[in-house]
A and B are shown apart, each in its own frame.
Chain A
Amino acid sequence: MTDISPPKGRGALAKREARLAWGLLFPTIAIVALVVIVPLLAIFWISVKPVKLGDLRPAEMRLRISLREGDQPQVEYRVINPSREHEIHGAGFDTTLPPGVTLTGDLPKGCALNGQDLRCDFGDLAPGLNTRYRIDAQIAGDDRAIKRAVRDSGVVVRGQVDNMLTNTTFTLENFRKLFSGTEFWSVLGVTLFYTIFGTLGALLVGLFAALLLNKDFRGQGILRGLYLFPYVAPVIAVAFTWITLFDPFSGSANALLVQMGVSQGAINFFGQKPLALIMVTVFEIWRYFPLSFLFILARMQSIDTDMYEAADMDGASPFQKFWYLSMPQLLGILSVLFLLRFIWTFNKFDDIFLLTGGNAGTRTLTVDVYEQAFAVSNIGAGAAVAVVVFGCLLIFAALFFRTMSREEGL
């Protein structure tokens, strides 16, 4: 008796297909892993290390050689550790004295003279060390030429600094500082205000625009193209235009408000505390309403018109039709758009950076990453903020995927 049942497991064909799939995906996975996954891991690594911007270029011992003239000529060796924080291990140098110079004085500890070759080993140099070693010398020949020859004599410097990125010093200092200050919570508050109102605003304005254009008339295509301008133009161009428009001294907006008697003097739109935050949020709405408008319009145009005809027969009023027929149909796209835009607004950096540079109470988390890392030159602290941003992102993404699978796509 043979058992008649469908084959279990994967057949040869299925296996071949899977192999092909992975083969096709491999280049993408490799390159994305290299440029996304590795940096993400790096961010976690850096966030627990006390790394400053200066540590990216490891310190090297510096040596200046000069000839001091006088009754007793001396050759001066000035040894400098330019780093204020790190020791240089195994520091030393090799140099050759130019002809015409003979060292006669006592050599410093660790130095040895072999003919014209001088070799010195200092061991570890303390941070910020700056010592001069002067050795009596005899010179013969033209003063100026010898002076130049001494200054330019060939030097090989030895010594290395622990690389702050790869050593095993770990610290939670970055995170402790981040969470202990009141600054972080105000930054978080600003981020939430910007994100929530920016997203909701862009969604509502986009919905309004979509309702306007959801009918056929001449010029509809032109208007649709026009309303997309703010999104398509480079952010740097529109951001600087807004700054020009709202400039407190030569901006047209201020001049207009003064003319109309709305305000007495010039308003510093991007420099005053609550106003700057409102302005960057308005900018965000202005720049991204086209996107929500486009999606909502696309969804609206795919709604079956039969439903509206039936509603007309039943005597539904325009607002009723919108509220009871269109809205339920649009709810899916609206929720997906809300979550995606929420995430993207949360991640937004360029806009605020260009408009205010994070000043006047507009510093969001992403701007804070930049500020900590580059303005304060504390890469570790910047990375810590980046880790927080990434953590928030994971939460939002989990929320998003739950909604997404309920709505099944856009």
Chain B
Amino acid sequence: MKMLYKGYLTGPIIGALWALVMAVTLGVAISFATGEAARPALWGALILGVVTGLVRVWRANRWLSLGVAVVVALGVMAMGLGALQFGAGFAPGSRVALSIVLAGMVAIPLNTILRDLPFGTTTRHEFEAAVIRFLTGFGYLFFTAIVIIPFYVMVMTSMKSQQQLMLNPLDFSIDLSKGWHLFDSYYELMTKFHFGRYLWTSFYVSVLTVALTLLFSVPGAYAVARLRFSGRKVFSRGILLIYMVPMIVLALPIYIAYSMVGLRNSVFGIVMIYPVTTIPVALYMLQGYFRGLPVEVEEAGLMDGLSRLKVIWKITLPLALPALASVGLYVFMIAWNEFLLAFMLLDDPSKFTLTRGIASLNSSEIPRQHLMAGAVIATVPIMALFLGLERFMTRGLTAGAVKG
């Protein structure tokens, strides 16, 4: 490591890595935006990055390094070594423009990343600060890309036709001139595939699940959090243990029992089973929250002559409203996203929940964009809820330990 504590080594190395990242980013972005080939090239990127990094640490002048980057980018492009190799679809003008954009994307962040890095020997602080700035920039790009791209693909695919998809899978653009016809898949799902009904089923199943879960878990959680009784520790561990039992292990006997009793293919059966899978989680989350509430308030209530149940109703629950909201949201999310039980227990298309409905779209006879439109329909409500109530949701997730 010590060998690297030289500005003239660190600068070019970080520069080269950054240029590579940028070349790949821009290449992917251009390919997706235009559907044309723009291929990042290793050597071109390395040359561009090394030179820019070196200039930056040599003369700490941001305009100089930007200028040099542009000159180098255009130079290597002219030699055919450019960091981006363009396909035949690009006019010379756009090639030059894109090369200049790339130079800017390399030089401007590098100016920040290599800030305060001397040309000669650097201290450990300066070196590590530069590395951290590089990793930070890379990290933001990386995470944003891996999250955005799949969700964008979901939306984009749902708005295309089968031919467009097969013709050029690289084309990420959405043809806005089609107007309302972009939503043809959605229209068809709603009219021909009964997705309106599935939405409604999913919605009321989830709401009922939340209500039943809270009804059962609030008293239980209070008892575990506040009351002293022998077996309390065993009980609270038991909850956690149940919370770890794999669903598939339970699903098999439940399937058998439901087949025999005739509860398969009934929404009632689903509403019976969902809360049980969420009660342990809710109990665990709520008891953690109840413990955090001040005991003194409750004791004051007891002294003033309230019974325990009254204390729960009049003091604890109003204080715990935010926690109830978090837990309710979290349970709603679990119920809304639940797939396995719905898949195993529902066969009758008139009783499908949304996730089960999407699973039924996964066949070779139904076009891909319908499947993706179904995915969007299932994702949008939960995302809207999540973004609107992000504060509650985040707390619900962190309180709920780590449910898969």
Contacts and interface: CB of A to CB of B under 8 A. Distances in A.
B233 to A, nearest CB: 10
A194 interface: no
B113 to A, nearest CB: 14
Interface stretch (B60-68, B104-112, B192-200, B240-248): B240-248
B153 interface: yes
B401 A410 contact: yes
B180 to A, nearest CB: 23
A325 interface: no
A250 B166 contact: yes
A260 B30 CA distance: 12
Nearest to B283: A28
Interface stretch (A62-70, A168-176, A234-242): A234-242
Interface string A265-290: 00000000000000000000010100
B223 A20 contact: yes
A32 interface: yes
Given A212-B136, A317-B125, A240 B362 contact: yes
B4 interface: no
Contacts of A232: 333, 382-383, 386, 393
A227 interface: yes
Contacts of A291: 397, 402
Nearest to A165: B256
Contact of B382 (A27, A234, A261): A234
- What's the dominant secondary structure at chain A's contact region? helix
A389 B333 contact: no
Interface string B118-141: 000000110011001000100110
Contacts of B362: 240
A1 interface: no
A43 B249 contact: yes
Interface of A: 14, 17-18, 20-22, 24-25, 27-29, 31-32, 34-36, 38-40, 42-43, 46, 56-57, 165, 208-209, 211-212, 221, 223-238, 240-242, 244-245, 247, 249-252, 254-256, 259-261, 286, 288, 291, 294-295, 298, 317-319, 337, 340-341, 343-350, 353-354, 366, 369-370, 373, 379, 382-383, 386, 389-390, 393, 396-397, 400-401, 410
Given A28-B217, A250-B165, A386-B252, A20 B227 contact: yes
Interface string B229-253: 1101001010011101111111011
B367 to A, nearest CB: 11
A56 B244 contact: no
B68 to A, nearest CB: 27
Contacts of A238: 150, 154, 375
Contacts of A241: 150-151, 153-154, 157, 372, 375
Contacts of B2: none
Interface stretch (B32-40, B51-59, B94-102, B319-327): B32-40
B219 A28 contact: yes
B2 to A, nearest CB: 13
Contacts of B333: 232
Nearest to A346: B246
Given A40-B250, A390-B246, 13 more contacts: A24-B220, A28-B217, A31-B276, A35-B273, A223-B144, A233-B382, A236-B359, A236-B375, A245-B149, A252-B32, A252-B153, A354-B339, A366-B246
A24 to B, nearest CB: 4
Contacts of B136: 212
A341 B386 CA distance: 23
Contacts of A25: 219-220, 223-224, 235
Contacts of A34: 276
Nearest to A20: B308
Interface string B312-341: 000000000000000000000100110110
B249 A390 contact: yes
B18 interface: no
Nearest to A14: B228
B229 A22 contact: yes
Contacts of B182: none
27 contacts: A24-B223, A28-B279, A31-B279, A34-B276, A35-B273, A35-B276, A42-B256, A212-B140, A225-B390, A232-B333, A232-B382, A236-B337, A236-B339, A242-B150, A244-B154, A245-B149, A245-B153, A250-B368, A252-B169, A259-B38, A259-B87, A259-B170, A260-B31, A291-B397, A344-B403, A389-B249, A397-B244
Contacts of A349: 246-248, 340
Contact of A209 (B143, B374, B386): B143
A259 B248 contact: no
B294 interface: no
B194 to A, nearest CB: 17
A35 B223 CA distance: 21
B378 interface: yes
B91 interface: no
Nearest to A205: B143
A242 B386 CA distance: 22
Given A236-B355, A386-B249, A397-B244, A259 B37 contact: yes
B7 to A, nearest CB: 16
B8 interface: no
Contacts of B125: 317-318
A56 B256 contact: yes
B394 interface: yes
Across the A-B interface, the 8 shortest Cβ-Cβ residue pairs: A344-B404, A347-B246, A237-B375, A18-B229, A39-B253, A21-B227, A28-B220, A42-B253
Nearest to B403: A344
B168 interface: yes
Contact of B247 (A18, A28, A234, A347): A347
Residue among B237, B245, B252, B259 facing the most chain A CB atoms (10 A cut-off): B252
A229 B227 contact: no
Contact of B244 (A209, A343, A369): A343
A401 B268 CA distance: 36
B402 A32 contact: no
Given A349-B246, A390-B245, A295 B398 contact: yes
A383 B252 contact: yes
A238 B28 CA distance: 21
A121 to B, nearest CB: 28
Contacts of B352: none
Contacts of B207: none
A373 B398 CA distance: 36
A209 B139 contact: yes
A154 to B, nearest CB: 25
A387 to B, nearest CB: 8
Contact of B383 (A27, A29, A229, A250): A229
A234 B124 contact: no
Contacts of A212: 136, 139-140, 143
B154 A237 contact: yes
